[in-house]
Amino acid sequence: MKEFYQSTGYKKVEEFFLSQGFNPHRFQIDCWYAYNQGLSGLIHTATGSGKTYAALMGHLIEAINNANSNKNEVSGLKLLWITPLRALANDTLKTVSYAVSQLIPDYNVELRTGDTSQSKRAKQAKQLPEIFITTPESLSLLISYPNFFELFSGIKSVVIDEWHELLGSKRGVLTELGLARLKRVNPELKIWGISATLGNTATAMEVLLGNKKVSGKLIGAGVSKNTEIETLIPETIENFPWAGHTGLKMIEKVCELIDSANSCLVFTNTRSQSEIWYQAILEQREDFAGIIGLHHGSIEKKERNAVENLLSEGKMKCVICTSSLDLGVDFSPVDLVIQIGSPKGIARLLQRAGRSGHKPGGVSKLVCVPANSLELIEFAAVREGIMASFIEPREPVVKAFDVLVQHAVTVAIGTGFNKNEFFNEVKSTHCYRELTHDEFDNILEFVCKGGKSLRAYKEFAKVKFDENFYFVDDKQIAKRHRMAIGTITSEPEVIVKYMNGTKLGTLEESFAARLSKGDNFIFSGKSLEFVRLRDLVLYVKKSNSGEGPVPQWLGGRMPLSTMLAKQVRERLNNYPSENSKFVEITAISPLLELQKKWSEIPSNGTLLVERKLSDEGMHLFFYPFEGRLVHEGLASLLAYRIGKNIPASFSLAYDDYGFELLTDTEFELAPDEIAVLFSEENLIDDILQIINSSEMTKSKFRDVARIAGLIFQGYPGSNKPVKQIQATGSLFFEVFTKYDPDNLLLKQAVREVLESQLERKRMIETLKRICKSQIILRETKYFTPLSFPLMASRIREKYSTQKVSERIKKMQIQLEKAVLKSK
Amino acid sequence: MNEISTINILGEEFQPRSDKTLFWRSENCLIVSDIHLGKTATFRVEGIPVPEGITDSDLGKLSLALIETAAKKLIITGDLFHSPKGKTTFIIDRFKRFRDENKDIEINLITGNHDIRSGSLHSELCIAETDSLIIREKFRFIHENDNKPGYYNFSGHIHPAIRLKGKGRQSLRLPCFYFAKDYALLPAFGGFTGTAVIYPVNDSIIYAIADNELVKLTS
C-alpha cells in the first residue's frame, strides 16, 4: 500500500502549495496526517499563518483519494464550515473556493448567512453544496427542516473557525448541540476547530469534540509571530487620573504614528470613543479626510463593508475601530495597530496586535496609548503577561437551559425526536454532560406544557408528544420559532436614516429619546441633525455644526481579566524595583510616590483600605484589584453586611482596581472588623439577598426569555399583527415571579447573574485571598491618586456628563493645589 | 390607604386611585381602561408559556375598587378583552363570575381596537357597548383620544407612563394618569400590559403610580 504522502491527493495538494510559492508548514502536514487517521482536533495558532488550509486540505486529500474508489457516491454536502461572523464567511468563501477550484473542480462551495437570498436558501433547503460555509444560527435553522437527515447524509467533516470566539458564549453551546446532532448523522464525523491560542486549549478541544468517544489531536502551529509592543508615554502624568478621560491629550503623537505607518488600525474600547477619536483626528489632520475610516458594530453594514474593502485594498491610511475588527478578515496592508486605553486582557491585546503584519512570518507592531495615567501600569502588566506567555482561558458555558429549550423546539420542528435518544444526544455535549433526567424532564415539560404547574399553563401547547416521540405540527409555531432562532440578544435599537431612506446604523433607544427636533449629534463619523423619531426610526439630515453629543452604547465593557489583574498587582508589589524594566512604571512613579506618601501602595499579602471624611460624608475605599464586576459584587456585599449592624445607607462606586462605599453616617471600623466583612461564611445567602433586591436578575431574565422564545421580535419586513403576543422582559419577569416562582428560566437568570454578572467563582477566590491578607487601614487627609477615579466615577453617575466634567476639572485643580502645599 | 386625591375638571371632582381606576363621585361611577383580559391566554395559545393568575388578580382588584367606592356604574374605556384567541372558556367563566358578583353594576364598554377583533359577547354579559359615551354634555369617553372639540375627552389605549429621573443616573418608569387641559389619559388597568412613555406638555397634571401610591406631579 502506498504511504499517505505518496497518495494522489497529498501530491496534488503539495503541488498546489508549491504553485502558490510556498511549502506546507509542519503543523499543516500534522493536521492532514491526523485527519487521514480519522482523528478530530483543534488547531491553535496566531492569526495569518495558514490555518484555513490546515483544516481544509485533510478533507480535500481524502476526497481526491476516494474519488476513484467511490464513483457512485452521492453528490451533496461533504464538509460543513462554521464561522462566527458573516464578514468572515465571505473571506473564507474566497480562500476555500480558490483552492477547491484548483484541486476538485466538481465541488461546489457556497455560503449561507442571514444575508443569503430567499431563492438561494430555498435551493439549499433541497440540496446543499459539497462545501457549505455558514454560522451556528444558520446550522440551527437547517436542523429545523424536516429533511435534515437527508441534507446532511453525506457529511464527512466539520470545521469550526475561530472557535475561541464561540467558546464561552451561548452561541458556542448552540454549536455544541448542532455538532451532537451531526454526529447522529455520521458517528465517524471528523470535527476540526481553529482557534487563537487560549490559556485552556485542551478544554477548548474537549468542549468542541464533546463526549470522549472521539479522540482528538491538539495541534499548535509552530510559526511564532513576532510581536512588538510599545507604550506611548504622556509628557505630563496627571496625579489624579480620571477614568472618563479619552486619551485625547495624546492626539498629536497618535497622528504622527498614523503618518509613519503604511496603514493602521486604531482600536478603542467603546463605540463612543471610536466616534470621538475619529472626529478628533479629522480636526487635527484635515489632510486625512477621505483616507481614514470609522468602524464599529452600530454603523450600517454597507458602510462597514466599504471600509473593510478599502482597507484590504490598501486604500485606507487608518481605520478607527472597536472589537468589531478584532476578528478574521485579512487586512494585509496593515502594518501598525494602536490601542487606545487598556485592553483589559492579555489575549485581547495579542489578538489585536495580530491584526498587523498579517502574513505568515510577519511582525506585529502595536503601540499602546493610555487613556489615563493609571493605565500605564496595566500596559506594563500586559507586556509582562505576554512575555511570560500568560494567556487567559475561556470558560465554557455549562447547562444553559434557555439554549436547550430553543434547541429542543428546533429539533421537534425538524425531524422530531425520541425522548431517550435525544437525551443521550444532548448529554454527549460538554455543556450538558451533567444534565440529569429530572432536569431534562423539566425542559420537556416546559416546551410541552409551559411549566410545572398544570393549572398555570392551560391552553398551552407548543411541542406535542405521542408516547416518547416529540414533534411540532403547528406551522405558525414553526415559522415563528425559525424567526427567533439564535442566541445573540440585543437591546431595543433605533435605526438612523437620512430623509431619503439611506441607513446609517443603529442607536440605543434611550439616547434617541433624549433628542428633540433640531438637536445636533455625532454618529457614524458624521455631524447630524435630528428631524423626527417615528416607530423606532430616527430621521436625520446632515448638519454643519460639527458639534453635539456622541451616543453612548451600553455593554461591551470588559472587566480587567483575572490574569491581567494579577500582573497589575505584581507590578505594584514590585515597585520601585522594576523601574528600569518598564518605562511605564518609571513614568508613573510620581503618582505612585504620592500614593505612598498620602497612603500606601498596595502590595501582595495585604488589602489596602482608605478612610476619608469629606463634606459628603465618610468614604471607604477598598483596593482588591480584581476587576469591575467582582468589585461591584463586593461593594454590594459589604454595604449589605455593614448595613446589618449599622443603620446606614451607601452610595457605591467601583472600577477595575477597587470600590468605594460612601455614607453620611460616620462610624469607626477596625481592621479586624473589616476582615470579618470579607468572610466566606453565609456568602451565597448574602449574595442571593443582594440579587433579589437589585435589578440584575430582571435584566438578565430578558436575555434568557428571548433565547427561550418568550420574547418575539416580529417578522422582519412584515407588518403582520404580532403585537398581540409581544411583551417586555420585565413584564414576563413580574408574571413569572408572582405566579410561577420555581420556573426554570427564572432560576437560570439568577444563576447567570451569580456566575457571569457577579463572577461568583472569582469573587470567592478573591474573598479567600483577602481573608489571608493583612488589612491595612489608612485614614487619609486627601483623596489619593487611587481613590480619586472612584470618587469621580460616583459623581459621574449623579450628574449629567457635561456639568460633571466641569466639576471634576475643578476638583482636579483643587487637588493639584493640595499637592503643592504638601510639598 | 393613602390620602384621597381629587382633581377638578370643569367643576366636577374626579378621584384618581392608586389601583389605576378613576372615580367620579357625583356620578357614582368608576372608570377603568385597558384591562386586556385573556392576554396571557393568548400567549399560551400561540405557544409562548406565560402562567395564569393575572385574570383572577385583575378581576379581584376591580371588584374591590367597586366595593371601596360603592360605585353603581362602571365605564371601561376600551380593550376589555385582548384577542379572540384569548377568550378561552376559562377566561369567559371568570368574567361571568365577576359579572354575577357585581350584578347591580351598570357596565358601559367603549369599544377598543382589541375589542373589535375579539368579537362581541357583551349582550350575554349585560354590557352596553358603544364607540363613545357622553355624560352631562361635556364629558366624553373614547378609547383612543381624538381631541374632539367641545368636550373633555377621557381615553385609554396608549397605556401612559412617565419617566422620572433622579440622582445616580436613576430612571424610573411609572404608569400614570395624565390630565391635560381638555383631555385625560388613563393608565392600563391589566396586570400583564406594557406601558408607553409620554412626554407631558405644560400645565398638565400627572398622577404617577408607584408601588400602590399616587404621586402627584405637575409639568
* SS3 category, B101: helix
Q: Which domains, and CATH codes, for chain A?
A: 4-220 (3.40.50.300), 226-387 (3.40.50.300), 493-542 (no CATH), 599-823 (no CATH)
CB contact (8 A) between residue B46 and residue A477 = yes
Question: Across-strand partners of A465?
Answer: A470
For A140-187, the pLDDT digits (tens) are 999 999 999 999 999 999 999 989 889 988 899 999 999 999 999 999
Option in A462, A743, A797 nearest B47 (CB): A462
Q: Report the pLDDT value the prediction gives residue B134, as an integer from 0 to 100.
A: 96
Contact A80, A159 (CB under 8 A): yes
| Residues from chain B contacting residue A798 (CB–CB below 8 Å) | 167-169
Q: Which residues of A12-24 are buried (b: 16+ CB within 10 A; e: fewer)?
A: bbbebbeeeeeeb
- Which residue of chain A comes nearest to B84, CA vs CA? A724
CB contact (8 A) between residue B168 and residue A651 = yes
Option in A739, A743, A797 nearest B53 (CB): A739
Mutation target among A452, A463, A739, A794 for the B interface, most CBs of B within 10 A: A739
d(CA B31, nearest CA chain A) in Å: 24
Residues A774-788, mean pLDDT to the nearest whole number:
94
Query: Residue A582: is its pLDDT beyond 90?
Result: yes
Check the CA dihedral A14-A20-A21-A22 and report its sign.
negative
Q: Does A552 lie at the interface with B, CB-CB under 8 angstroms?
A: no
Maximum pairwise Cα distance, chain B: 54
CA A88 to chain CA centroid, Å, is 16
Compute CA distances A195 → A162, A205, B79, whole Å.
5, 9, 55
| Residues from chain A contacting residue B165 (CB–CB below 8 Å) | none
Q: Which residues of A327-356 are buried (b: 16+ CB within 10 A; e: fewer)?
A: bbbbbbbbbbbbbbbbbbbbbbbbbbbbbb
The Cα A541–Cα A531 span in angstroms is: 7
The Cα A486–Cα A708 span in angstroms is: 10
For A234-284, the pLDDT digits (tens) are 888 887 776 556 788 889 999 999 999 989 999 998 888 899 999 999 999
Mutation target among A402, A442, A455, A460 for the B interface, most CBs of B within 10 A: A460
Those residues whose C-beta lies under 8 Å from the C-beta of residue A211, and which sit 6 or more positions away, are A428, A429, A433
The Cα A725–Cα A283 span in angstroms is: 49
d(CA A712, nearest CA chain B) in Å: 9
The Cα B93–Cα A87 span in angstroms is: 55
Query: Residue A107: is its pLDDT beyond 80?
Result: yes
* SS3 category, A532: strand
Query: Residue A812: is its pLDDT beyond 60?
Result: no
Q: Does A728 lie at the interface with B, CB-CB under 8 angstroms?
A: yes
For B64-100, the pLDDT digits (tens) are 999 999 999 999 999 999 998 888 888 999 999 999 9
d(CA B169, nearest CA chain A) in Å: 5
CB contact (8 A) between residue B50 and residue A797 = no
The Cα B161–Cα B138 span in angstroms is: 26
CB contact (8 A) between residue A450 and residue B45 = no
The Cα A411–Cα A479 span in angstroms is: 13
In chain A, % of residues over pLDDT 70:
88
Q: Which domains, and CATH codes, for chain B?
A: 7-218 (3.60.21)
Among A607, A771, A600, residue whose Cα is nearest residue A679:
A771
Residue ranges, chain B, pLDDT below 50: 1-2, 166-170
Which helix (H) or strand (E) is A594 found in, with range? helix A583-598
For A712-730, the pLDDT digits (tens) are 665 444 434 456 677 777 8
Q: Does A732 lie at the interface with B, CB-CB under 8 angstroms?
A: yes
* SS3 category, A712: coil
Q: Report the pLDDT value the prediction gives residue A492, as an integer from 0 to 100.
A: 58
Which helix (H) or strand (E) is A96 found in, with range? helix A86-103
d(CA A797, nearest CA chain B) in Å: 5
- Phi first, then psi, for residue A176 (nearest 5°) are -55, -45
d(CA A455, nearest CA chain B) in Å: 7
What would you report as the CA-atom Rg of chain B, rounded to the nearest whole angstrom?
17
The Cα A304–Cα A283 span in angstroms is: 22
* SS3 category, B104: coil
Interface of chain B toward chain A, CB-CB under 8 angstroms: 40-54, 82-83, 85, 88, 90, 167-169, 191-194, 197
Mutation target among A455, A458, A737 for the B interface, most CBs of B within 10 A: A458
The Cα B190–Cα B34 span in angstroms is: 6
Mutation target among B48, B91, B165, B193 for the A interface, most CBs of A within 10 A: B48
